[in-house]
């Protein structure tokens, strides 16, 4: 039975730079990169070497400690380089395109008639399995575990996020095939959550083999962590799997065609981006194929992802495995005169969640914000700001304190199994103490995995 939830807490950060609903012509990237660091906690075991020729769908490496989990090349061509760091740590695998995009033949499978084990085997062998993320711990799902539910969010509420209704329009068959496949992997429900405030596309409203839920409210309403908490919370010893909506489509497309086709839409956003629109590309594509000639100014920051959770990047970098967005914002390293733009300024161009500036009187105003944190890390003080933007029945301040002090009992009692770093992105944004809360939660989850799982 479907459910509807209305959130009372959260925060929408309205920024200038939303992408236009225009799709640029597909440009084949000259190279792609698959980074093991995108798959937290995974140690790669290489199956190819520099100079090897590969097809799209050929396996590049596998998890050293779970060899059934494999990672495939999204492009056909030649392995240019296996980039290593300190102690020969593998940083990325770069594949140069041959300009043809030849696919390895993985065969097709009918998710309606296939068993759960057959679908799992197909996903593992084809390199599709890394699209499935496990909660708790927020890592690639362990195929030996059985999830009590699977969650797919039909919208993204983060700043300047892509519109999945626009992105997946017309992909009904592929998306449905992916949902049907996922439904065979759990004895519970597949939860598809749509935005209650906006009419959803038929690709979501007509979906089958799922329970369609609705959620209304400010960000992080679109985060799967928020949806899990309100529709089917996680207790210790339980597992929930999550899959991004575009990745569901990729899974379904491969089952229907037998091709490891990871093409998807990525939106270029941000006040420092010139030609803001959606681009057809593939996973791991070079960022230059999207941002070249689209950067407005020199002192800017390219973010691989959204402004709250994305990573700093450069034009020579590559699209993250799970990212659907590239954001370009002004760099915040310039001095501001304290009487106008600084701490004594009236703040008519500043955004604040605490009504510190008069702009709270214009709730629909969009802002041009830079990356300046407006302060450095300081003593961790209780302000009550986190509780205003954290829509969980969890005490965020206390949980963060337990994470910082490695208090395992405290973290378990306060709900560490329900959260992921992205769930604390808004807490980090409003934190008066300027602490990198997402990093603290990530370290805490690593400790919990090591000591308690």
Entry pTM: 0.95
Q: Where are the domains of the chain?
A: 1-8+27-262, 385-452
In this predicted structure, what is the pLDDT of residue 358? 78
Maximum alpha-carbon separation in the chain: 69
pLDDT by residue, tens only, the chain of 453 residues: 789 999 999 999 999 999 999 999 888 899 999 999 999 999 999 999 999 999 999 999 999 999 999 999 999 999 999 999 999 999 999 999 999 999 998 899 999 999 999 999 999 999 999 999 999 999 999 999 999 999 999 999 999 999 999 999 999 999 999 999 999 999 999 999 999 999 999 999 999 999 999 999 999 999 999 999 999 999 999 999 999 999 999 999 999 999 999 999 999 999 999 999 999 999 999 999 999 889 998 899 999 999 999 999 999 999 999 999 999 999 988 777 666 777 667 777 788 887 777 777 788 889 999 998 888 888 888 888 999 999 999 999 999 999 999 999 999 999 999 999 999 999 999 998 999 999 999 999 999 999 998
Q: What are phi and psi of 232, to 5 degrees?
A: -160, 75
**pLDDT at residue 339 in the model:** 66
Q: H or E segment at 289?
A: helix 288-291
pLDDT of 248 reads 98
Residues 333, 301 contacting (CB under 8 angstroms): no
Helix (H) or strand (E) holding 230: helix 224-231
| CA 323 distance to own-chain centroid | 5
Q: 3-class SS at 360?
A: helix
Backbone dihedral angles phi then psi of residue 205, each to the nearest 5 degrees? -70, -25
Distance CA 123, CA 68 (A): 10
Q: Which of the 8 DSSP states describes residue 366?
A: -
> In 3D, which of 399, 398, 416, 401 has the Cα closest to residue 452?
416
State which H helix or E strand residue 176 sits in: helix 172-183
Nearest 10 degrees: CA dihedral of 245, 249, 250, 253? Answer: 170
Asked if 103 contacts 5 with a C-beta cutoff of 8 angstroms, the reply is no
| DSSP state, residue 206 | T
């Amino acid at each position: 039975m479907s459910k509807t939830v209305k959130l009372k807490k959260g925060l929408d950060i309205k920024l200038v730079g939303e992408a236009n609903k225009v799709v640029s012509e597909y440009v084949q990237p000259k190279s792609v990169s698959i980074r093991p660091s995108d798959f937290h906690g995974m140690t790669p075991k290489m199956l190819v070497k520099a100079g090897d020729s590969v097809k799209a769908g050929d396996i590049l490496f596998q998890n050293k400690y779970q060899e059934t989990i494999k990672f495939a090349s999204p492009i056909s061509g030649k392995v240019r380089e296996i980039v290593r760091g300190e102690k020969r740590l593998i940083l990325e695998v770069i594949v140069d395109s041959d300009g043809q995009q030849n696919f390895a033949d993985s065969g097709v499978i009918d998710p309606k008639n296939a068993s759960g084990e057959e679908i799992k085997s197909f996903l593992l062998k084809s390199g599709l399995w890394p699209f499935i993320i496990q909660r708790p711990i927020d890592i690639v799902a362990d195929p030996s575990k059985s999830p009590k539910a699977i969650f797919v969010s039909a919208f993204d509420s983060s700043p300047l996020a892509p519109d999945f209704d626009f992105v997946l329009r017309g992909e009904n068959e592929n998306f449905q095939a992916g949902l049907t496949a996922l439904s065979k992997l759990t004895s519970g429900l597949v939860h598809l959550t749509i935005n209650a405030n906006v009419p959803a596309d038929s690709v979501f409203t007509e979906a089958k083999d799922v329970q369609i839920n609705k959620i209304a409210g400010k960000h992080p309403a679109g985060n799967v962590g928020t949806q899990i908490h309100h529709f089917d919370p996680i207790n210790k010893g339980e597992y929930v799997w999550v899959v991004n909506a575009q990745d569901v489509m990729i899974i379904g497309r491969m089952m229907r065609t037998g091709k490891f086709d990871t093409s998807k839409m990525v939106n270029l956003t941000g006040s420092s981006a010139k030609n803001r629109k959606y681009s057809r590309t593939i996973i791991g594509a070079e960022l230059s194929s999207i941002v070249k000639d689209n950067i407005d100014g020199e002192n800017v920051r390219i973010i691989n992802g959204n402004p709250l959770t994305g990573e700093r990047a450069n034009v020579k970098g590559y699209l993250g495995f799970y990212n659907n967005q590239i954001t370009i914002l002004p760099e915040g390293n310039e001095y501001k005169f304290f009487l106008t733009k600084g701490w004594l300024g009236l703040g008519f161009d500043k955004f604040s969640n605490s009504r510190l500036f008069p702009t709270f009187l214009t709730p629909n105003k969009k802002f041009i914000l830079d990356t300046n944190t407006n302060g450095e890390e300081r003593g961790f003080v209780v302000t009550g700001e986190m509780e205003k933007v954290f829509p969980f029945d969890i005490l965020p301040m206390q949980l963060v304190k337990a994470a910082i002090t490695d208090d395992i009992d405290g973290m378990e009692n306060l709900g560490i199994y329900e959260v992921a770093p992205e769930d604390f992105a808004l807490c980090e944004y409003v934190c008066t103490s300027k602490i990198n809360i997402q990093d603290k939660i990530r370290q805490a989850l690593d400790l919990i995995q090591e000591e308690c799982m």
